[in-house]
Amino acid sequence: MKLKSYVAGEWVAGTGNGTPLFNAVTGTQIAIAGSEGVDFKAMLDYARNVGGPALRKMTFHERALMLKKLAMFLNDKKALFYELSAATGATKVDSWIDIDGGIGTMFVFASKGRRELPDETFLVEGNPEQISKNGTFLGHHICVPLHGVAIHINAYNFPCWGMLEKIAPTFLAGVPAIIKPATVTSYLTELMVREIINSGILPPGALQLICGGAGDILDHVTLQDVVTFTGSASTGRMLKQHPAIIENSVRFNMEADSLNFSMLGPEAKPGSAEFGLFIREVTREMTVKAGQKCTAIRRILVPEHLTDAVVSELKLKLAAVKLGNPAVEGVKMGPLASNGQVAEVKSKVAELLKSCEVAYGNINDFEVTGADKATGAFMPTMLLHCKDGIKNNGPHDIEAFGPVSTIMGYKNTDDAIELARKGKGSLVGSVFSADNNFAREIVMGTAAWHGRLMVVNEASAAESTGHGSPLGHLVHGGPGRAGGGEEMGGIRGVKHYMQRTAIQGSPTTLTHICKEFIRGAEVKEDVIHPFRKYFEEIQIGDTLFTHRRTVTEADIVNFAGISGDFFYAHTDETSLEGSVFEKRVAHGYFIISAAAGLFVDPKKGPVLANYGLDNLRFTQPVYVGDTISVRLTCKRKTKKEKREGQIPQGVVEWDVEVKNQKGETVATETVLTLVERKEDI
């Protein structure tokens, strides 16, 4: 079978001989991949001219719903992907990480897009900056989608997750993507892309695929494009130095393989919960995906006096992990992705043995269940021991990208921190300790060298997601050797594909541009109360100026009795000496309650319910005899997804400013209301 690339809306086969691809378990050829003859410039043009405009017309919420729909579609097709995933050497657990993990990441971004981003095509970021004395000239920041394409060059170890975790934030940002999977496992990526295209969920031009080499695609990148790379640091550095990337200042995000650590706390003796959890995690990270994970544990750091105990326990656990054909009952670890990778790992082990010794495993003499180790890409687990990790740099410089880890002892906390840092930048480190003081010292001492740090003890273990599991909510990346980039990280990851632009102007102008009310902007009063209007009828800037209310001593006394809040400043005038108050002060919560009484229309109408309060601040005390009034202004509107049996509705955010008789602002808040819509979405 010859794999095809998806180019400008068509499936295209390469014209050359291509690269043969093999089943990692049996060694039989299953496909040929090649991109010779593909017009890479045409791919970029198609993405920019067709996919980009279509995605940019959609709001964040529409893109998020698209991601949700796509994730649900892929979820229904999992059996198809699992079947082919076995050819990569993956066990069911390995395939679950790759396939379900990728789909789960799409669900995360779909959810966060609906909850944390506006129903707009752009993002208003942060608060306005007052840069003039009288507030007539302000600054603000907006994020808009880039008008280019994201080129995602992925590694071989996660042919599904590697694609899905990148296209989720890319599409949510409104940018089309070109996927270039590693050739050796590209047959699985091609299958998934075929299903995605056939679904019709994505607009034309949103997604394209290269099966084979990347050709001259990087020659044609511009300042509006983004290039991401996952794989070896050496390849990443080569791509990052491409003349077009440098000349056009193209955004380049690299996530490189790294020498991640896992550390056992000094108090975690054999028999303790943390000791057992540590042994289980190291064993799992050495054997899941046959150690072919950028987040796998490469350096095992333990108290020096516990080295023998840890080695002894790991030997027992590793011996129980059966290597072989994942289709055979009882097999817990499959082969590497290719025989070429086996040769690469063996060469790295040979280098490591110059400064280490073998604690467990035999690289040449091992058993394989249900397959022929002469033809399959099998590699046994290898536990190495470096007696002096401070003096020897081998374990901190050399990565064998397979089921290989090196154990090293530390004498004290400073030693432990130095060993962790010697990896020169890693994606992840983990600490297994019940001593929170020790954990804090390690985190503070190593955070600058790591993209993620996981601390596990008995209290968190049951729900821990694991050392080697990047999550869509959190950044995945790291400094130095790990590439210096970031992926995912929730909405942070979306912004990698957007341009942050500072805009300046009057409050009215910025309100018009941002579609979000900014204090000081012109407002619109109407004879119709804002709460009598349906969602569609309310406009940004619609304002109600209320009548006034004078605060009395009875108000304060009654509110104290109702609320149970007898704080001295409200109830005991004799205790005010030396305080910030001149006399008894009204409760802040009474002021906002009274404010609601001033601006709420009591009749049943389009406003369905109070949805919440944000950004509440009390800026001036209100005393007996002070008179307050309220300005209520529509700040922002967001349609809510229609659910079965639910009234069509949207969320309206109201900017509320409470002032006293002197014109001083005494309280501000954002009130959210659910408002009925006339029409369905």
Residue 61 in contact with residue 639, Cβ under 8 Å? Answer: yes
Amino acid at 75: N
Q: Report whether 330 contacts 321 (CB < 8 A).
A: no
Q: Which of 165, 190, 255, 281 is catalytic?
A: 255
- As a whole number of angstroms, the distance between CA 303 and CA 415 comes to 10
Could you give the CA distance from residue 633 to residue 541 in angstroms, rounded to a whole number? 6
User: 3-state DSSP call for residue 433?
Assistant: coil
Out of 294, 356, 386, 634, the active site residue is 294
Q: Is 132 helix (H, G, I), strand (E, B) or coil?
A: coil
Q: % helix / strand / coil in the chain, to the nearest 5?
A: 35, 25, 40
What are the residue ranges of helices labelled H in 117-179?
161-173
Tokens describing residue 295: 């987040």
Cβ–Cβ under 8 Å, residues 628 and 587: no
| CB burial readout 447-470, b (16+ within 10 A) else e | eebbbbbbbbbeeeeeebebbbbb
The residue whose two tokens read 């409200």 is 570
Helix ranges (H only) for 515-563 are 553-563
Verify whether residue 294 is a known catalytic residue.
yes
* Rounded Cα gap, residues 593 and 306, in angstroms: 62
DSSP-assigned letter for residue 623: B
Cα 8 from Cα 195, distance rounded (Å)? 17
Q: Is 640 helix (H, G, I), strand (E, B) or coil?
A: coil
**Chain centre to alpha carbon of residue 30:** 34
* DSSP 8-state class, residue 203: P
Q: What is the radius of gyration, based on Cα positions, of the chain?
A: 30
DSSP bridge pairs for 638: 651
- Token output for 49: 């001219």
Q: Which residues contact 308 (CB under 8 A, 6 or more apart)?
A: none
- Amino acid code (one letter) for 412: N
Which residues, 6 or more positions from 63, have their beta carbon under 8 angstroms from its beta carbon? 55, 113, 171, 172, 174
The string of DSSP codes covering 576-610 is: -TTSS-SS-B--HHHHHHHHHHHH---S-SSEEEE
Task: Please tell me whether residue 35 adopts helix, strand or coil conformation.
Answer: coil
DSSP letter for 511, please.
Answer: H
CA 255/CA 586 separation, integer angstroms: 55
Q: Which residues are catalytic?
A: 255, 294
